Amino acid sequence: MMKTMRSHSRATVSLFVIGVLFPVDAMAQSISVAPPVAELPGMGRAIEIDATRARRQALTERTGQGIIAIPAATSRDLESEVLQDNDFRQDDYFFYLTGLESPDAWLVMAVHPSGTVELHLFLPERNPQMEQWTGRKLGPGPDAIRLTGIPNVHPLDSLDRALFALQRTVPGPLFTPLYAGTAENERIDRWLQAGVGVDVRSVVPVLDSMRLVKDDAEMVRQRRAIDITVEAQRAAMQAIEPGMFEYQIEAIIEYTFRSMGADRVGFPSIIGSGPNSTTLHYDTNRRQTQPGDLVVMDIGAEYGQYSADVTRTVPVEGRFTDRQKAIYRLVLGAQQAAIDATRPGITIGELTRIARAYLERNSGDLCGASTCNRYFIHGLSHWLGMRVHDVGDYSTPLAAGMVLTIEPGIYIEAEQLGIRIEDDILVTDNGAEILSAGAPRSVEEIEALMAGRLVP
């Protein structure tokens, strides 16, 4: 957080996408069919019950005695809201603790003075007439208990009564995400007026710190999102040539996302060519590429509520100029210096200083009298997970299981020259793993793939 066809030595099958012939033979070799999903009402994929149970246990151990109330996201109004993709995306905290994609639900966890934890899930009753429009939903009943692993599932309209009853036997704070100004917050206000949880505390800092370290179930989804995004980068590189519009490159990328099973984009695709390569979050994607352009492709698929974020910068004609090549290698060197330094105990701030020090030492006269560091105008890194800019304290020392991006860039507006290289990094016990390594990074790898010589 960009082709009439080039000649190929092998036979190709082509897909016509918005007026562009898109070679899919190489991509087809590497795209696997998305794993089958369980046909569960109101849910996209089977819930990893053991993983969600472990997360709930870890949360209650950190909060201690009290009541934890976590709302799901609410349904959107198809008549009044402009829906650009799916009409529903689950709240991250609710999904993290339940794996459930049903809207308008609540999870309530009560930690008794004895340490016993009561789990309650509240779901809207099914409405068969509405389900003709929206599809079958998961309602309260034995199926919900079996599919979620939560032993007590109730109709949503019993939530207030149940919470009032719990409060009489579970003294202590009310822990909640506190969504200010929302319908969920109005419900919490009613609870306070009724004397429930007079001591209200935000559970967000605890959940955010937990989400920094990914468990095995999360990493399956995280890796899948990144693998899909890598294939989209490769497909775009093989298709790009002068005269294509940025939106045509975007179409190739997002076709690849969907064909590999992505649920949606993790964020609007950034396809910035020529002068647009120097605008960090440009996503209009309407310019026609010209000979000599660089194209910055900052993209991320979302799979199973987890997002990728991989950026590559490529020459629209398939070969970098000498000037572009020199700046590109400088950015790549800064990125590699930070990746090499990534390990448990170091902070993102320290990695940033390492990358900037590399630019200071190695700029030479590439950027005139000053070093190229002056053209590195954004942060080096952000957390990655259920959000492309995921939650977590940036002063936290790295630990094994954390996922972050490393993305230095140089943007020289006067030359219409922007270069950003971004990879998704898993912190390991001894260092780092580049999860997005399948997308070519070096000058030589990019030029070879664009020329059709580099085959997976």
Q: Are strands 14-17 and 403-406 parallel, antiparallel or unpaired?
A: unpaired
Q: Which pLDDT does position 33 carry in this prediction?
A: 37
Q: Are strands 403-406 and 423-427 parallel, antiparallel or unpaired?
A: antiparallel
Closest Cα to residue 315, out of 453, 456, 451?
451
CA distances (Å), 299 to each of 103, 283, 309, 383, in order? 27, 10, 6, 15
The pLDDT profile of the chain, 456 residues, written as one tens digit per residue, is 733 333 333 333 333 343 334 333 333 334 333 333 344 554 567 899 999 999 999 999 999 999 999 999 887 666 565 555 666 889 999 999 999 999 999 999 999 999 999 999 999 998 888 888 877 888 999 989 999 999 999 999 999 899 888 888 888 888 999 765 566 677 777 777 776 656 888 999 999 999 999 999 999 999 999 999 999 999 999 999 999 999 999 999 999 999 999 999 999 999 999 999 999 999 999 999 999 999 999 999 999 999 999 999 999 999 999 999 999 999 999 999 999 999 999 999 999 999 999 999 999 999 998 999 999 999 999 999 999 999 999 999 999 999 999 999 999 999 999 999 999 999 999 999 999 999 999 999 999 999 986 655
Q: How far apart are CA 424 and CA 440, in angstroms?
A: 13
Q: What is the DSSP string of 61-113?
A: HHH-SEEEEEEPPPPP-TTTS--SS-S----HHHHHHH----TT-EEEEEE-T
> Which amino acid does the sequence have at 217?
A
In a 13 Å sphere around the CA of 39, the CA atoms on its Cβ side amount to 2
CA distances (Å), 172 to each of 186, 197, 198, in order? 21, 7, 8
Q: Domains along the chain?
A: 14-32+214-450 (3.90.230.10), 49-211 (3.40.350.10)
Per the confidence metrics, is the pTM higher than 0.85? yes
With both helix axes pointing from N to C terminus, report the angle between 216-239 and 246-259 in degrees, rounded to the nearest 10: 140
Radius of gyration of the chain (CA): 24
- Answer whether 289's CB lies under 8 Å from 244's CB: yes
- Answer whether 291's CB lies under 8 Å from 316's CB: yes
